[in-house]
A and B are shown apart, each in its own frame.
Chain A
Amino acid sequence: MSRMSREFGLVLLGAGILTAGYFAAPAPEDEMEKIADEQAADRTGHDRTHHRHGMVPLFLFIHSPAYAGNASGRPSAYSPTTRAGGFGSAGRAFAGGGS
């Protein structure tokens, strides 16, 4: 019922792949903390640190499993009849969609 009887592997998060590669621009480790803190403040309305800066993490995923890896980190190939950007605006005020 409860016991996980075997060790398990992680394809994306394990082996430091994600850790090493997912910022397009090098970011100091402590920037992660600031970003996470700002996002928490945005959601709760509490600014615990009073840090404010304009950096937004740009994720560039370097691992490429069979299908494509990261569809956001490549040059766009939208067709001429395609528009993007129609999702995301309702969530912008809240920083994140998790609960």
Chain B
Amino acid sequence: MHRMAVEPRADWQRKVEALGLHFHTLGGEPYWDESACYTLSKFEVDSIERATYALWEMCLELVQHVIDNRMFGLFLIPPEFEAIVIRSWDEDWPSIYGRFDLAFDGVGPPKLLEFNADTPTGLVEASVAQWHWLKETDERGDQFNSIHDRLLEAWAAAKASDPAPIHFAAIEGNVEDYITVEYLRDTAIQAGIQTAYLNIEAIGYDTARKRFTDPQNRVIQNIFKLYPWEWLTKDTFAQHIPASGTKWIEPPWKMILSCKSILPLLYQLNPDSPFLLPAWFEAPSFGSYVKKPIHAREGANIQVVRNGVAEQETTGAYDTSVCVYQQLASLKEHDGMYPIVGSWVVHGWACGIGIREDGNMITQNTSRFVPHKMSD
């Protein structure tokens, strides 16, 4: 895995905007950064693919383990939601996608840093923008990327299990979330599903029918929401979710996998996995580790401890009262940047990657997305 400086395309901003990527620049600096790219060998791509499948399998086994042993408290799942978590698992409600964030030096096996199982973004960049970049800069080049195709398959499977329309919702006023949801809705439409978009705030609850509805008074039978379960379960309407009859995508059982409590539990269940870093529910008394709140996201509220001394810390608004601790991964530096591989699993397929890099070891939502291609 190598980082190469490359010449950005002329007028690249307009080109990525035409694909919906309006958030390409943050604070005057590129978020989408095509002044460099990463090249990966087929062996390295195979390693990432193998790790992703193994991690996905371990995650599914973990969900079954948590349900069998009623370990919901470990994930701060409210008791009134336990039944819908179990039901969505037993009834196999559709799950479309997730993204494993991996530390990968190109030599050893990729190591799981975290699993964005519920509301992953960076999707348009990985699926669409970097593919168009590749085709324009190297027409014969190859890329680990069949994300778009797998999304079409995922929605086709969802339609086969339930042909009812699907609403798509995101929080009002967030450009990245809106574009992500619209891209997903795009692929659902192409799979033949009837769809509608609404802001999460516009979801209504009809007390007469005891159903969630949209502003056109249509019952919401299925909904994809880019709004984390740990927020849904705190909102005023949370009390109506279990009996509402609405199927939610990602499904309620993703409450388990989207919580960082999976990191120590995965390690307990699979201590010999080459793809897992040691992780604990209690702070180690020595060594180097990363302290992560179980429901934080985008690199917020993270503390890096090296040899027992707090070395780096990020701010944020997340609750830091419940944390897990993960052995500090050795990230390989490339030209002063630390890349993290986001490996997508769509409908159970390991189907592509997006690489984010930052000048420090904590990847945040301002970290740059850098395209990749496979070397010959």
Instruction: Please report A residues at the B interface, Cβ cutoff 8 Å.
Output: 1-4, 7-14, 16, 18-19, 29, 32-33, 35-37, 39-40, 42-46, 48-49, 56-59, 61, 65-72, 74-79, 81-99
Contacts and interface: CB of A to CB of B under 8 A. Distances in A.
B149 A4 contact: yes
Nearest to B184: A12
B207 A37 contact: no
Given A77-B216, A99-B228, A33 B25 contact: yes
7 contacts: A2-B45, A16-B18, A48-B366, A71-B197, A71-B214, A88-B199, A98-B176
B110 interface: no
Contacts of A19: 17-18, 20, 22
* Closest 9 A/B residue pairs (Cβ): A86-B237, A98-B121, A45-B315, A13-B20, A67-B194, A90-B231, A96-B174, A88-B201, A71-B198
A78 B200 CA distance: 15
A91 B17 contact: no
B189 interface: yes
A44 B301 CA distance: 8
A82 B185 CA distance: 26
A51 B31 CA distance: 18
A29 B371 CA distance: 24
B232 interface: yes
A83 B203 CA distance: 8
B144 interface: yes
A57 B182 contact: no
Contacts of B73: none
Contacts of A90: 230-232, 234-235
Contacts of A79: 206, 208, 213, 217
B88 interface: no
B199 A72 contact: yes
A69 B197 contact: yes
Contact of B196 (A44, A68, A81, A99): A68
Contacts of A78: 204, 206, 213, 215, 217
Given A2-B145, A4-B146, A67 B195 contact: yes
A77 B219 CA distance: 12
A10 B19 contact: yes
B267 interface: no
Chain B interface residue bracket vs A: 35 or more
Interface stretch (B57-65, B77-85, B292-300): B292-300
Contact of A10 (B175, B176, B186, B218): B186
A87 B201 CA distance: 5
Contacts of A67: 165, 194-196
Contact of B186 (A11, A37, A84): A11
A65 B226 contact: no
Interface stretch (B1-9, B112-120, B280-288): B112-120
A37 B26 contact: yes
Most buried by B among A1, A8, A44, A95: A44
A88 B171 contact: yes
B204 A44 contact: no
B10 interface: no
Nearest to A93: B317
Contacts of B124: 13
Contacts of B27: 37, 40, 48-49
A48 B175 CA distance: 18
Given A4-B149, A88-B199, A97-B119, 16 more contacts: A2-B144, A14-B19, A19-B20, A19-B22, A32-B175, A36-B22, A45-B314, A48-B27, A56-B173, A69-B196, A82-B204, A82-B217, A86-B203, A87-B232, A89-B236, A99-B120
B176 A36 contact: yes
Contact of B202 (A16, A29, A37, A71): A71
B177 interface: yes
Contacts of A68: 195-196, 216, 218
